[in-house]
Amino acid sequence: MAINSTRKVLLRLDPSYKRCPSCGDVNTLRRSRAKNFYENVLKVTRVYKMYRCRKCNWRGPISTLIITKQTLRNLAIYIAMVLLTLFIVSRAIGNITS
């Protein structure tokens, strides 16, 4: 849905169709389980996911996000909103304490 994808801050992409970083083959990457603390931290951030190449057995994290002009603009709007909220809250707190 076009409306949905433009409202998302970041678009997600399935790296299964990306080239393997090691052997450069297409369509050989498959999801791999997180095996240690570091890989679990990556999993929680949801930016990277662990993948394994079925051909050369390469294993590592691959980003699932695509950054476009639209996502950068959305991100800028969100950051501006957060900064504005922080400003308003700090003013409100300042009024209470003074």
The pattern of x and - marking residues 44 through 63 that bind Zn ion according to CB under 5 A reads: ---------x-xx-x-----
State yes or no: residue 34 binds Zn ion (CB under 5 A): no
29, exposed or middle or buried, with CB in 10 Å at 0-12, 13-18, 19+?
Answer: buried
State yes or no: residue 65 binds Zn ion (CB under 5 A): no
Q: Which pair of structure tokens corresponds to residue 54?
A: 């079925």
Is 73 within 8 Å of 48 (Cβ atoms)? no
Which listed residue (11, 12, 18, 22) binds Zn ion by CB under 5 A?
A: 22
The footprint of Zn ion (CB under 5 A) covers 20, 22-23, 53, 55-56, 58
